[in-house]
Amino acid sequence: MPANLLLIAPLLLHLVGAIACVFLWRFVRLQTVVVAIVQITFVGISSLMLQQVLTQGIQVTQIGNWHAPFGITLVADIIAALLLLTTSIAGLAVFMFAHVALDITRKRFGYFPLFLLLQMGVSGVCLTGDIFNLYVWFEVLLICCFALIALGTRKTQMEGALKYVTINFIASGLLLTGIGVMYALYGALNLARIAEIVRDTHENAHLLVLPGIFFLIGFGIKSAIFPLFFWLPASYHTPPIGISAFIAGVISKIGVYTLLRLYTLIFSAEIGFAQPLLLVLAGLTMAVGVIGAAAQVDFRKILSFHIISQIGYMLMGLAIYTPLAVAGSIFFVIHNMLVKTNLFLVSGVVAHRHHSFSLSRLGGAYLRHPFLSIMFLLSALSLAGLPPLSGFWGKLMLAKGGLEAGNYILVGTSLGVSLVTLLSMTKIWNEVFWKPRSTRLKMALKETTSTYASYFPVVFLLVFILALGFYAEPVIKLSLQSSEQLMHSENYIDAVLKSNTIPVEPPSSP
């Protein structure tokens, strides 16, 4: 497929799907069909993109044929394609779950179009090669998140949405300020062009730290790193699982992706400043997240706090900044997107049956649903990083990279945090699945005996998680390749700026 069509396809696909859904507003069944088609096509397109990026190198297209430093560029390299593929798989699973378990009222009031536009935002963030365009895509993504979190307007949801909107509005403002500073200093918005300028001896090259801090804080808030994470556990658990699984599983990692992209491409010229800061932040993010989780008694809140601690692992690879460690980060992002989505879906299945997320009200699920329990156990152990499940390989790469670089304290912290993660997962296992259900509750709450259809998305994701664990080598190789590509940013710069060789027809003079 030609690059210009391939890169625009994920954006157009979701946009057209969302518009179709809006036109079919009253016909929820037809909307479901549209979303199903879009999701399956999205998986196909993103695998095609990955395959093409691997065989033909970085794919670039200039929108409207405005050449690179001036127009908007769309770029797909390996990490972007990998992320899109993972997003599409997680999106498909969440869609299947929402189809079964989400209430009809939310579906009637625009769940499907918002869900598609959200994925359009994710695709845009992954593919764009222009820093202002990145901000715009982030806003597209965020406004859909706002609407999805508030959809249904239950009291808790509105409380969560208010916190989410306020803090993310401030983060976006800081990003915009950073973009302003960046443009004022270097006079460019194209990522590749900025990267080229800061590598040259530009008169403002030593001021790179200034926009770097703006971006670190802006994306730090969006991806919930250490001192800026308080909004996440306050809002992610409030909407129903059909919404929060996707937001928790995918959206929180998009911030990490942008940090990976910007800090390898642009701010790597000044990595001496950012590295010690990132090392400390990564360690603290891990530790604080996991300690916060220990204090919680709600299924979803425990999982929300674990998101924070896993963001720490992803940051760790970037902070160590060796090819192996960055590859570990990339692998970890992919693994975590799948596993976290799956854990949220399991909590949704349990709550669908027992009408509660509270650990004290649940119990005895193992006796009732042994199959579901095994699926939870596999995902949870994978999150904690037990070999040979997928989390292990990510942590192995990160730890190896850290030890080679001599960051013993950070590696020690990360291993300790894994242990506490395991403890936390055991807590959920004990409370929800293992302990007998108190008889008082048994009488009070009658159990819905719904179909097994809501198991299907969980099994679907688990297949990928197990494949990622038992057959990790191809993905590890891809992550290594991808981190090589990120570390050698001259390839990216060349691909974007030298792609102007498309022959422009001179205006035929009469």
Q: Which is nearer to other proteins, 177 or 426 (CB)?
A: 177
Q: Is 294 in the site for other proteins (CB under 8 A)?
A: no
Q: Which is nearer to other proteins, 189 or 286 (CB)?
A: 189
> Which region, judged by CB under 8 A, interacts with other proteins, from 33-41, 176-184, 196-204, 255-263?
176-184
Q: Which is nearer to other proteins, 136 or 396 (CB)?
A: 136
If binding means CB under 8 A, how many residues of this protein chain bind other proteins? 34
Q: Is 147 in the site for other proteins (CB under 8 A)?
A: yes
Q: Is 251 in the site for other proteins (CB under 8 A)?
A: no
Q: Is 166 in the site for other proteins (CB under 8 A)?
A: yes
Q: Is 153 in the site for other proteins (CB under 8 A)?
A: yes
CB of 485 closer than 8 Å to CB of 492 = yes
Phi, psi of 447 (to 5 degrees): -90, 135
Candidates 380, 393, 288; CA nearest to 343 is 380
Q: Is 159 in the site for other proteins (CB under 8 A)?
A: yes
CB of 480 closer than 8 Å to CB of 323 = yes
> In angstroms, rounded to a whole number, what is the distance separating the alpha carbons of residues 264 and 212?
12
Three-class DSSP category at 358: strand
| Contact pick of 179, 232, 384, 410 for other proteins (by CB under 8 A) | 179
> In angstroms, rounded to a whole number, what is the distance separating the alpha carbons of residues 246 and 391?
19
Q: Is 136 in the site for other proteins (CB under 8 A)?
A: yes
How is residue 161 written in tokens? 């949405």
Element (H, E) at 284: helix 271-294
The site string for other proteins over 80-119 (x = CB under 8 A, - otherwise) reads ----------------------------------------
Which residue bears the tokens 């992954």? 126
Q: Which is nearer to other proteins, 70 or 452 (CB)?
A: 70
The site string for other proteins over 188-227 (x = CB under 8 A, - otherwise) reads -x--------------------------------------
> Which region, judged by CB under 8 A, interacts with other proteins, from 3-11, 131-139, 392-400, 476-484?
131-139
Residue 128, CA distances (Å) to 16, 248, 495 in order: 19, 22, 14
> Which region, judged by CB under 8 A, interacts with other proteins, from 28-36, 149-157, 276-284, 398-406?
149-157
CB of 134 closer than 8 Å to CB of 25 = no
> In angstroms, rounded to a whole number, what is the distance separating the alpha carbons of residues 150 and 44?
31
Closest separation in Å from C-beta 238 to other proteins: 8
Q: Is 15 in the site for other proteins (CB under 8 A)?
A: no
| Contact pick of 30, 36, 43, 181 for other proteins (by CB under 8 A) | 181
* Amino acid in the structure at residue 345: L
CB of 4 closer than 8 Å to CB of 61 = yes
- What radius of gyration do the chain's Cα atoms show? 22
> In angstroms, rounded to a whole number, what is the distance separating the alpha carbons of residues 297 and 84?
34
Q: How far is CA 13 from the centre of its chain?
A: 20
Q: Is 173 in the site for other proteins (CB under 8 A)?
A: yes
> In angstroms, rounded to a whole number, what is the distance separating the alpha carbons of residues 436 and 378?
21
CB of 315 closer than 8 Å to CB of 304 = no
Closest separation in Å from C-beta 189 to other proteins: 7
| Contact pick of 1, 5, 37, 184 for other proteins (by CB under 8 A) | 184
| Contact pick of 51, 65, 105, 360 for other proteins (by CB under 8 A) | 360
Q: Is 150 in the site for other proteins (CB under 8 A)?
A: yes
**Number of neighbouring beta carbons within 10 Å of residue 1:** 13
Exposed, middle or buried by CB within 10 Å (0-12, 13-18, 19+), for 510? exposed
Q: Which is nearer to other proteins, 93 or 182 (CB)?
A: 182
Q: Is 146 in the site for other proteins (CB under 8 A)?
A: yes
How is residue 42 written in tokens? 């999205």
Residues making contact with other proteins (CB under 8 A): 132, 136, 139, 142-143, 146-147, 150, 153, 155-156, 158-159, 161-162, 165-166, 169-170, 172-174, 176-177, 179-181, 183-184, 189, 297-298, 358, 360
